[in-house]
């Protein structure tokens, strides 16, 4: 029995000393290889050696987004990155062990491309109904290529571009995950670069002399109504207008978007829009809806806030179109419900206290 124990001890000791994968200090790199390198495309580098599964530190210059692709064995590992440099020795790959000891450094030449290359697409001012700017960076962008977008209208080239940067602009017409798609192609149809961008529901800040409301609008459920309202907002139509009607009997609403403090009708009203109801939105407290006459498709600029649950307005006279809700400032709605009213200027339910809309701004 003693002999068996001693034999087992020596076997375990030998296993611990030799190991299967070695230690970081045992790692050895014999070569770094890659296929043809093309500017603007993803390159894969194959690292050959021994004990490569013990841990490697790989860095690269002239190549972005470096990441480990696979470690197939202790003698083979692959890494990839996107080439963004041109010239002799433009890309340099260094492999070190986890102790920081350099195992191998190798440089690669990158020939200049003959066609446009798009490395990245960046979006600025990405808001529903607003003009968004898309900037492409790359190489030979002063040569001809085609750009297409989805859910972004009026695509136009922005002046002042260069061979390494070019911008286009268009009006954002959708919200949601991946709402806007962008693609750059060569004349033969081959794709240079494509990208998609998320667009959140629009938000608006409505500032009054009594406080501020933050609103979120719903273009998916009420696209015509939201676009109409945002046109007035972005035209500054609602600045220096008043809440001219507060009703707290039967229905509870605060209505505005029509008169100046004079009072006088605010000029600049647009054509009436189609009524959008039955889209799952209800006239509950804290929502904003369009005011209109008894004619269904007569809403223009006037809106109202529901100061209480007015669900009867969902169907009364064929319904009133809800298109957003209050995100913050609900206490202002409660304050509006307490404002005294009377008949003035031939208008009933006219606030005795001036409630002035000082500004309305799209913030998202």
User: How much is the CA Rg of the chain, to the nearest whole Å?
Assistant: 33
What pLDDT, on the 0 to 100 scale, is given for residue 54?
A: 78
pLDDT at 13 over 50: no
- Position 31 scores a pLDDT of 95
- Whether 355 and 339 have beta carbons less than 8 Å apart is answered as yes
Residue 179: the pLDDT is 97
Specify the pLDDT at position 22: 52
Q: What are phi and psi of 310, to 5 degrees?
A: -115, 50
List the alpha helices (DSSP H) in 141-239: 223-234
Quote the DSSP letter at residue 272: -
SS3 category, 59? strand
**Contact between residue 343 and residue 350 where contact means Cβ atoms under 8 Å apart:** yes
In order of 19, 239, 332, 362, 364, the CA distances from 207 in angstroms are: 71, 9, 11, 12, 16
| Pair 283, 289: CB distance under 8 Å | yes
Tens digit of each residue's pLDDT (9 = 90 or more) over 274-328:
999 999 999 999 999 999 999 999 999 999 999 999 999 999 999 999 999 999 9
Q: Is the pLDDT of residue 193 over 50?
A: yes
* Residue 157 burial (10 A CB sphere; 0-12, 13-18, 19+): exposed
User: What is d(CA 132, CA 134) in angstroms, rounded to the nearest whole number?
Assistant: 7
Longest CA–CA separation in the chain, Å: 114
pTM: 0.78
- Which residues sit opposite 184 in a β-bridge? 147, 193
User: Is the confidence at residue 216, as pLDDT, over 60?
Assistant: yes
Across the range 47-55, mean pLDDT stands at 87
* Per-residue pLDDT, 88: 94
262 to 93, 183, 238, 266: CA distances (angstroms): 72, 51, 14, 10
**20: confidence class by pLDDT, cuts 50, 70, 90:** very low
User: Do 217 and 330 meet the contact criterion of CB atoms below 8 Å apart?
Assistant: no
Residue 363 has pLDDT above 50, yes or no: yes
Higher pLDDT, 3 or 151: 151
Taken in order of first residue, the domains within the chain and their CATH numbers are 30-110 (2.60.40), 117-199 (2.60.40), 203-362 (2.40.100.10)
């Amino acid at each position: 029995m003693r002999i068996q124990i001693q034999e087992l001890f020596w076997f375990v000791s030998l296993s611990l000393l030799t190991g299967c994968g070695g230690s970081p200090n045992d790692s050895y790199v014999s070569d770094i290889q890659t296929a043809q390198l093309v500017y603007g495309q993803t390159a894969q580098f194959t690292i050959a050696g021994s004990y490569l599964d013990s841990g490697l530190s790989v860095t690269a210059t002239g190549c972005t987004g470096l990441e480990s692709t696979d470690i197939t064995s202790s003698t083979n590992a692959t890494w990839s990155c996107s080439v963004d440099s041109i010239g002799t020795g433009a890309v340099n790959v260094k492999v070190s062990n986890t102790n920081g000891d350099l195992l191998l450094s190798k440089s690669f030449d990158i020939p200049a491309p003959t066609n446009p290359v798009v490395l990245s697409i960046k979006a600025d001012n990405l808001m529903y109904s607003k003009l968004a700017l898309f900037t492409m960076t790359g190489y030979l962008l002063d040569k001809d290529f085609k750009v297409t977008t989805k859910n972004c209208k009026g695509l136009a080239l922005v002046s002042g571009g260069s061979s390494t940067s070019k911008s286009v602009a268009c009006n954002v017409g959708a919200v949601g995950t991946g709402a806007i798609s962008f693609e750059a192609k060569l004349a033969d149809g081959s794709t240079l670069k494509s990208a998609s961008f998320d667009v959140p529901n629009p938000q608006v800040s409505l500032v009054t002399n009594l406080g501020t409301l933050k609103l979120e609008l719903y273009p998916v459920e009420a696209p015509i109504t939201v676009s109409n309202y945002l046109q007035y907002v972005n035209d500054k139509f609602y600045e220096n207008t008043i809440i001219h009607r507060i009703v707290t009997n039967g229905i509870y609403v605060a209505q505005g978007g029509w008169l100046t403090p004079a009072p006088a009708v605010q000029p600049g009203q647009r054509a009436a829009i189609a009524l959008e109801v039955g889209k799952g939105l209800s006239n509950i407290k804290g929502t904003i809806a369009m005011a209109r006459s008894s004619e269904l498709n007569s809403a223009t600029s006037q809106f109202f806030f529901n100061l209480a649950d007015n669900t009867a307005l969902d169907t009364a006279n064929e319904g009133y179109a809800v298109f957003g809700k209050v995100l913050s400032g609900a206490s202002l709605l409660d304050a509006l419900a307490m404002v005294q009213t009377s008949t003035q200027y031939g208008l009933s339910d006219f606030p005795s206290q001036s409630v002035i809309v000082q500004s309305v701004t799209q913030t998202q």
